[in-house]
Amino acid sequence: MVNTAHITGFGIALPDPVDQDTLWDGYFARHFAEVPVAGRLFRGAQVRRRHAVVNPVLEDASTWSTGTRMRRYEQEAPSLGATALSAALADSGLSPGEVGLFAVASCTGYTTPGVDIRLSAEFGLPADAQRLVIGHMGCYAALPGLGAVTDFVLARGKPALLLCLELTSLHVQPPTKDVDQVVAHSLFSDAAAAVVVQPGSPRSRSALTVVDVTALTDATTSDHMTWNVTDLGFRMGLSPRVPDALARHVGPTITGLLGRHGLTTADVDAWAVHPGGPRVLDTVAEALALPADALTTSRRVLAEHGNCSSATVLLVLHALRASGRPRPGRYGVAMAFGPGLTLYAALVQAT
């Protein structure tokens, strides 16, 4: 058993971009023509562009069966995942033959043999490498995934890979008057993000030590956010009460996480907060009394990429590392939210 585990490599892969205005003018203005506030909601999402394997301006997937959508997932997901994994392995200096565990988180597609098996074969992972698939946890899945691979690394002394791969564009829904559907369709996007976690002394001076992971689930608010399998893809339910529920729990959860290590919010040098939407970020900033610029990177990721479900918090953490935050010896907090309602957070420290 080893004492420390470190994130030593990041890899990001994105499908073709499309501007938010193009999506609105070319598709969603017509799609939500019976919702008077739809245009205002799209503008208020604070998203400038998104990425999509299925651009609705070019392909209208809203009438596709779930089977058709899953076949498209099977076609598109492996290549996007492979690009992210290649970059993460190269960034860490890890060879595929050293991998002891490969975990894949996705809530937007399912196939068996899965992406984990196909990519294991493509990259030449050892035949005895363990695999873990984390399905349908939604936007926060990267952090329980990080916790699982970190526990493996600490217990077995072997490196691990985590891939978060989400193709939300496959799940555009038929026209509706439901405002929560407008909000969801104004935010969600596609991405793959991978991290390498290694034991012992990090090989890179830019590594992040995974110090702790914590979670809180409030089952009394389980109806606030849903992700249901229907005959026409997966349908999101998104209540406007989500920020209010988060406001009750963010402060105690994060101060509890930090307090276990003798820290306060003032000791945190970087905040990688999942940008579930502008109101979510505003709620976190207010609940933790953060400085005005603390969530600038989260807001930038939202603007440039939209909400990419489980991959998003890794996009934010990667962007922070690229900018040199957290600084050596300093701490960072990664935080994400999803169905449950569930709040997950990880404490990391830069080497």
- pLDDT (mean) for 149-154: 98
Cα–Cα distance, 175 to 251 (Å, whole number):
38
> 246 and 297, same structural domain?
yes
What CATH number is associated with residue 20? 3.40.47.10
> 167 and 107, same structural domain?
yes
Which candidate in 107, 139, 164, 308 is catalytic? Answer: 139
pLDDT band at 205 (very low <50, low <70, confident <90, very high): low
Residue 238's DSSP bridge partners are 225
Task: Tell which of 168, 199, 230 closes a domain.
Answer: 199
Percent of residues in the chain assigned helix, strand, coil, to nearest 5 = 40, 25, 30
The answer, yes or no, to whether residue 202 has pLDDT greater than 70, is no
- pLDDT (mean) for 20-37: 97
Task: Tell which of 199, 229, 251 closes a domain.
Answer: 199
Cα–Cα distance, 45 to 20 (Å, whole number):
10
Quote the pLDDT of residue 2.
Answer: 73
Quote the pLDDT of residue 268.
Answer: 98
> 293 and 162, same structural domain?
no
Quote the pLDDT of residue 203.
Answer: 63
Residue 342's DSSP bridge partners are 217, 338
* Model pLDDT for residues 62-121, shown as the tens digit of each residue: 999 999 999 999 999 999 999 999 999 999 999 999 999 999 999 999 999 999 999 999
Quote the pLDDT of residue 122.
Answer: 95
Name, in order, each residue with C-beta under 8 angstroms of 68's C-beta and a sequence gap of 6 or more: none
* CA angle (126, 128, 133) in 5-degree steps: 95
Q: Which of 127, 126, 145, 125 is nearest to 135 (CA)?
A: 145
- pLDDT (mean) for 336-342: 93
> 310 and 228, same structural domain?
yes
Cα–Cα distance, 222 to 312 (Å, whole number):
22
Q: Is the pTM of this model over 0.85?
A: yes
pLDDT band at 1 (very low <50, low <70, confident <90, very high): low
How many domains is the chain partitioned into structurally?
2
Q: What is the mean pLDDT of the chain?
A: 96
> 318 and 335, same structural domain?
yes
The answer, yes or no, to whether residue 225 has pLDDT greater than 80, is yes
- The residue among 204 and 321 whose pLDDT is bigger is 321
Contact 333, 271 (CB under 8 A): yes
Task: Tell which of 199, 223, 243 closes a domain.
Answer: 199
Q: Which of 341, 295, 336 is nearest to 105 (CA)?
A: 336
> 93 and 162, same structural domain?
yes
**Token pair 């935050």 in the structure block, residue:** 325
Cα–Cα distance, 343 to 75 (Å, whole number):
32
Q: Dihedral of CA 314/116/16/239: which sign?
A: negative
Contact 293, 60 (CB under 8 A): no
3-state secondary structure (DSSP) of residue 186: helix
Cα–Cα distance, 252 to 74 (Å, whole number):
41
> 155 and 272, same structural domain?
no
Quote the pLDDT of residue 339.
Answer: 92
> 263 and 305, same structural domain?
yes
Cα–Cα distance, 52 to 26 (Å, whole number):
15
Domain membership of residue 342 as a residue range: 208-350
DSSP, res 52? -
The answer, yes or no, to whether residue 343 has pLDDT greater than 80, is yes
* Model pLDDT for residues 227-260, shown as the tens digit of each residue: 999 999 999 998 888 988 999 999 999 999 999 9
* Model pLDDT for residues 42-55, shown as the tens digit of each residue: 999 999 999 999 99
Exposed/middle/buried for 292, CB within 10 Å: 0-12, 13-18, 19+? exposed
The answer, yes or no, to whether residue 166 has pLDDT greater than 80, is yes
> 217 and 342, same structural domain?
yes
> 261 and 194, same structural domain?
no
DSSP for 136-171 reads S-GGGTHHHHHHHHHHHHHHH---EEEEEEEEGGGG
Residue 308 annotated in active site: no
3-state secondary structure (DSSP) of residue 15: coil
Q: What is the bridge-based pairing of β-strands 190-199 and 5-13?
A: antiparallel
> 242 and 322, same structural domain?
yes
> 100 and 33, same structural domain?
yes
Quote the pLDDT of residue 201.
Answer: 75
Quote the pLDDT of residue 238.
Answer: 85
Query: What proportion of the chain, given as a percentage, has pLDDT over 90?
Result: 94
